[in-house]
Chain A
């Protein structure tokens, strides 16, 4: 198992290298540059700026320079937030995003599987319909609608919770953003769990377990749910990577200092290093979470072995 993990990490290096290379040249293809503002700069000043940021050098030189720094863990200076290096920005922003995303994922996992399993066990009853109906609703309403409504309802009209802000991560400020992030995930997880549980309940090994006369609790809890959780795990891998690296919508609407906005702000402002940094971070998360999914599979599904 350990050797497998090592092999996977080694395999991730070329993947990351390719991603970085494609991203580096793609962002440069976009018209304009980091210093093209609504108000064009004096050509002389533009020249000074380009020189200060090495943008006057050949692209291949800049690429080599970037890779060299990247290998040393330096993501370069930000062009649009010049008091910070990209690493500085992630150092303060990433924990915030990971905290919010982690809470949302945990909530989705616990509530989603519970509701999904409940619906499956009570298939075709009012409970089932309620869960499936709510889940469909949760999936179809996008976060950019949910977030302002929650903020308006609980922040402005009822005044129970802050309408926005982060306040160094106080619990009160986290409730609405986490709810916004978690709602669609709870819905999806519930649906996945429901489907998989219904299937698992009819499977041979569950029937065998029943035939042995095992108590229902053991049959459902151990044998059925363990099989039913597999599609949820494979879904949550990439989803966790996405949620933990922040959400543009939730961060903008609630004013949260995570890293989700950097990708969009960086791309629009042609902040090459910031975009690249975000790409690298997201890529690393995706690679790591795919690996975690594979390991979880081995633990959950006795048929999977990585030796």
Chain B
């Protein structure tokens, strides 16, 4: 028996030694275990759409322009660019030392190939419409025109010319999206759909793909051919998907991951106390609102909708339900957005909640609704926070004599139901901007936007203003027009804005260079690890 124990000990010790030897050289590498929301649908960025995917693509590829640590648009592969006076033609000068991970130079033709590929109907890119601003892109995507007819031309290896269908003041912002990233033409042509496999994948960003194990991790290694490789301080990034935010919190506390892309809001008090400054909460480019089916007789009067809106105590929702991970919202366009000089808000933004309730009751009376007469159904998709929000709202509506019932739906069917003009009273929806421009929020409620205009609200004046803004080159003038449009929206409230999103993250104090920003983008190339 003793003999066995001894043997086991020797064996265990030798294992440790072997492990030690294996681990030792790896210690010299700087490794960053980084929590991400979830696994990507694919690493072919032309087929991606989520934020978790954008976080990965930002590491692997570099577009013409990129976001820096503060989410400002700065030169990427393009070292400089010129815009024609009519705002229609962008000429990008590509940097000479831009290289793919296999050493090939990044050429203008790579971007042409990539921009054409995303519009190819056979690729079925979910976000092809991000590039509809480019001349003929939409017709190419519909299969009506040939890819070569698109407004993207390589003048020479280092000059790329993009022609737009209409001036798009936020075009550079658009190019920071993952749809604007290039793909390596030779490997896409050689491997087809398998070009994203580790070993096949050739990228031009600060990192290159090492391995991808579903539900485990995606490993990226520093790309030695990256033009700014000298300033990239982290050698290996392990992107770990966390569906369970508490699991990320535990691994963060155990020191196993250095950042979490989200936090379990219900443990806010605990985290504030234990982790202090490592809890990052920053305003984010997103709105949380309640679409109201305006066609319904009982909800067709804007006064009724305003009464409902007034009774909602947004401070309570933000503080108690969302544990300060959301901010009280009084407009559909979130504050801090680019190209928006005169933001407008619901006029009772600063009014006390008790006064608002009195005003709401008056409005209901004016609209001919007796107390206790109106009952509405609040519909939401399965999620603890949505449920709590709607439960609280139902309670608030009771204060002004409206009876509210709750109805929960499972996620996938829920959005389909709203899109299909489902028979709801009031639902919930959220929108995260793809680019920092008010148009990206206000277009949701254009009459012909059947995919997103859940209330099926129609307003000719609003549509006209939106159309006018599209062709207005002067940014200050355009900002005014968009403010007017939002003012109409807020007067009619077909959807009731209640909260703004905020980005939430856990960031270890060892991780340096993390700057909170409205886009919540934090490329690893700007980060470093200390201690």
On A, residues with C-beta under 8 Å from B are 30-33, 35-45, 48-49, 51-52, 80-84, 89, 92-93, 148, 151-152, 155-156, 159, 162-166, 251-258, 261, 268-270
Among the 9-residue stretches B39-47, B83-91, B298-306, the one with 4 or more Cβ atoms under 8 Å from chain A is B39-47
Selected A-B contacts with CB under 8 Å, 8 pairs: A30-B413, A32-B413, A45-B126, A92-B213, A92-B214, A165-B240, A255-B242, A261-B215
Contacts A36-B416, A89-B214, A255-B242 given: A83-B42 contact, CB under 8 Å? yes
Interface residues of B in 410-466 (CB under 8 A from A): 410-413, 415-417, 419, 430-431, 451-452
Binary per-residue interface labels of chain B (398-419) against chain A in the complex, 1 for a CB within 8 Å, 0 otherwise: 0000000000001111011101
> Which of B74-82, B245-253, B364-372, B470-478 is the contact stretch?
B245-253
Q: A51-B124, A163-B254 known; A84 and B415 CB under 8 Å?
A: no
B residues in contact with A148, CB < 8 Å: 246-247, 250
Q: How many Å lie between the Cα of A93 and that of B241 in the bound state?
A: 15
One digit per residue, 1 when the CB lies within 8 angstroms of any chain A CB and 0 when it does not, for chain B 250-266 equals 11011010000000000
Q: Quick one: which of B77-133 are within 8 Å of A by CB?
A: 121-126, 128-129
Asked if A42 and B256 sit within 8 Å, CB to CB, the answer is no
CB-CB under 8 A for A32 and B247, given A48-B122, A261-B215: no
Report the minimum CB–CB distance from B299 to chain A (whole Å).
22
Least distance between A278 CB and chain B CB atoms (Å): 13
Q: A37-B49, A41-B126, A83-B42 are in contact. Are A164 and B247 (CB under 8 A)?
A: yes
Q: Which residue of A lies closest to B201 (CB)?
A: A83
Which of the residues A38, A51, A151 comes within 8 Å of B247, measured between beta carbons?
A: A151
Pairwise interchain contact A82-B41, C-beta atoms closer than 8 A: yes
B412 touches A36 (CB 8 A): yes
Interface flag for B196 (CB, 8 Å): yes
A82 touches B42 (CB 8 A): yes
- What is the interface residue range for chain B against chain A? 35 or more
Chain B residues near A162 (CB, 8 Å)? 251, 254, 256
Once the chains bind, are B452 and A165 in contact (CB under 8 Å)?
Answer: no
A40 near B419 with CB under 8 A, answer yes
In the complex, what's the smallest C-beta–C-beta distance from A149 to chain B, in angstroms? Answer: 11
Interface status of B212 (Cβ within 8 A of chain A): yes
**Is residue B142 within 8 Å, beta carbon to beta carbon, of the partner chain?**
yes
Instruction: Quote the shortest CB–CB distance from A216 to chain B (angstroms).
Output: 24
B452 close to A40 (CB less than 8 A): yes
Report A-chain residues with C-beta under 8 Å of the C-beta of B215: 93, 251, 255-258, 261
Which residues in B have their C-beta under 8 angstroms from that of A43? 451
B-side contacts of A49, CB under 8 Å:
124, 126
Q: Which of B224-247 contact A (CB under 8 A)?
A: 240-244, 246-247
Once the chains are docked, how many angstroms separate the CA of A155 from the CA of B250? 8
Complex-state Cα separation, A39 to B122, whole angstroms = 21
Question: Are B126 and A35 in touch, CB under 8 angstroms?
Answer: yes
Q: Is the CB of B256 within 8 A of A83?
A: no
A83 near B43 with CB under 8 A, answer yes
Nearest CB on B from A208, distance (A): 36
Interface centre among A33, A39, A269 (most CB of B within 10 A): A39
Interface residue B141 (Cβ < 8 Å from any Cβ of A): yes
Which residue of the partner chain A has the closest CB to B43? A83
- Cα A51 to Cα B121 with chains together (Å): 10
